[in-house]
Structure 1
Amino acid sequence: MAAAAALALASPLRRLLRAPHPRGAIPAPYYVITRGRCGAAVAVAAAAARDSAVKGNVDRNAAEEVRNILDMAERASKRRDVFHTNFLTPPIIKEAMLAIDKLADIKAVAQGGYPQAERCRISVGHADSMTSNPDVVAALSISGNFRLEPCSHGDFLGAILGTGITREKVGDILLQGERGAQVLVDPELVDYLISTLEKVGKVGVSCSQIPLLALEYEPPRTKSFKTVELSLRVDALASAGFKISRTKLASLISAGDVRVNWTPVLKSGVNLRSGDVVSVSGMGRIKVTKKTKNAIIFSYKL
């Protein structure tokens, strides 16, 4: 039955995965920007915002993503319509929302399904067209008996991607221990996942849609600490922040388990700056909040 359902949905799924900006709408915005200026200035503002994004503190891929979002915003303004991105990482969300703020007559909403969501979708449209918050995020409960076979974030994500869905269609994954996990996804993929997702790791699972208000999440907990290092390299600061050796951190970097601003780090010699977030799979994150000429770093452990 699952195979038949998957076959029936194969063509719609392929079309959906090719479509960059499906339509839809959400409750509670993560960020909201509304600007109103002369509509004739949209193209000029968009060009300036694109240049600003490229020169900003984002890598080449992120800058390209921001440019695409700005192009979408410009089209939305001209057509007096509303368009939606896929799920985006926090750095791209931040840069895109700052850039959209320079556009005329545009309203933008970024939403990930709950207040602390990291991965969000941005909806952009002419201020007169987007009169309500778009509904573009759905929540799924993936249930199973994980008491003897505990599964990680990567296990759940791998199982979802194994059905043929791309990463950009999946938002945050909230682990629930022995019970399973709650996952934020593109609403148009809900029926497909319910019919095709049967296992996570070795555990048989059932999948059902739940309201966003049923999501179970904890507010982020932070702990401040200070370290004095002679180097601002990621291996020096992260080994101090996570209290592991540089050798161990180097092996984690080689395995692709270390990210700076949600982008995998490939070399130990990458230098960090104030505001950078370093995450290590299974260990959490640290955020560099201040640095001085004496290389005294104040950070929050998240």
Structure 2
Amino acid sequence: MKDFEKYYDFIKDEETKNTVRKIADKASYVEKNFITAVTEFTNPYAAELCIPIIKNYDVKFELFPSYEHCERKVFILYPDYMGSIDRNEYVAALRIMNRSKFKDLSHKDYLGSIMSLGIDRNRTGDIYVHEDFADVVMHKDIAEYVHFSLELIGRNKVETQILKAEETAFKEQQHELIMINASSLRLDSLVKNIANKSREDSSDMVKSGLVKVNFKVEEKPSAEVKEGDMISIAKYGRFKIHRLSGITKSGKNKIEIKHYI
């Protein structure tokens, strides 16, 4: 077996590095014990880093859920001799229906209610919030536990129903649209406009590892961003470059950004 330490050293973000290590350990466990196992939910960048390592083990894997728009996924790992698996044995969705007519529930409300039951965020996937319900992807055993445990979110009475992961109703996370005029598409220029900081402070934030582009820490202030990129800024939130809308008369880039709330 190869020594992966140099590969791990390549990963700058400690959280991502720990995720990759844990998933590699689980692949090793599956290989040695000839059993099937499911990993924690992970983002697309961490998943991409895991695949070359998993391929070094005599195991098969599926990255699931596999439907369009899904962001957070698990690896279902199983012995090399097995022909196929039933993915629905490992991942499910929970529909949480808000039965109160007086208070709408947000992404934060639904996630907070699940975590208040002692459930780690890494055991839940995407959350799709609709007007009177939310679909939450999670490990199957967790879905069953929450189904029998969750009755209230705040003062709102809720009811739950277990679904197959493929039966979730996708809806983009709530966001506000903001327009900025940036002198360039450099990362520090975007951070400057989003966080309302000076160019020097924005550059320092990037160099300090406080900014991610598409889930990957980016420490180069001069890195160019493009339409569709997801930018995460510590303490400020997540922002997606929704549309590049041309150039102003003064030569600045008109950029439409989604701020997820």
TM-score (norm 1): 0.61
Residues 205, 95 of structure 1: CA spacing in aligned structure 2 closer, same or farther, 3 A cutoff?
Answer: same
Match of 2:111 among 141, 145, 157: 157
Match of 1:173 in 2: 127
Report if the CA contact (8 A) 2:99-2:159 is conserved.
no
Does residue 71 of structure 2 align to residue 118 of structure 1? yes
Report if the CA contact (8 A) 2:231-2:238 is conserved.
no
Report if the CA contact (8 A) 1:113-1:137 is conserved.
no
Provide structure 2 residue ranges, at least 5 long, that are not aligned to the other structure. 174-179, 243-251
Deviation at 1:301, TM superposition (A): 5.2
More helix by share: 1
Match of 1:191 among 107, 121, 144: 144
Does residue 159 of structure 2 align to residue 206 of structure 1? yes
Deviation at 1:263, TM superposition (A): 7.0
Question: Hey, what's the Cα distance between the residues in 2 that align with 1:146 and 1:204?
Answer: 6
What secondary structure, in the 3-state scheme, does the structure 2 residue paired with 1:205 have?
strand
Q: CA RMSD in A?
A: 4.0
Give, as a single letter, the amino acid of the residue that structure 1 aligns with 2:183. V
Report if the CA contact (8 A) 2:187-2:224 is conserved.
no
Provide structure 1 residue ranges, at least 5 long, that are not aligned to the other structure. 1-42, 288-295
Residues 106, 51 of structure 1: CA spacing in aligned structure 2 closer, same or farther, 3 A cutoff?
Answer: farther
Report if the CA contact (8 A) 2:100-2:157 is conserved.
no
Deviation at 1:108, TM superposition (A): 1.9
Question: Hey, what's the Cα distance between the residues in 2 that align with 1:76 and 1:297?
Answer: 50
Deviation at 1:274, TM superposition (A): 5.2
Deviation at 1:197, TM superposition (A): 1.1
- How many residue pairs match? The answer is 229
Match of 2:7 in 1: 52
Match of 1:83 in 2: 37
Give, as a single letter, the amino acid of the residue that structure 1 aligns with 2:212. V
Report if the CA contact (8 A) 2:127-2:134 is conserved.
yes
Residues 95, 139 of structure 1: CA spacing in aligned structure 2 closer, same or farther, 3 A cutoff?
Answer: same
Deviation at 1:186, TM superposition (A): 1.2
Question: Hey, what's the Cα distance between the residues in 1 that align with 2:165 and 2:215?
Answer: 28
Question: Hey, what's the Cα distance between the residues in 1 that align with 2:67 and 2:76?
Answer: 16
1:87-135 per-residue CA deviation (whole Å, 9 max, x = no partner) reads 122322121123324x153322111364321111112233223523533
TM-score (norm 2): 0.69
Deviation at 1:191, TM superposition (A): 2.8
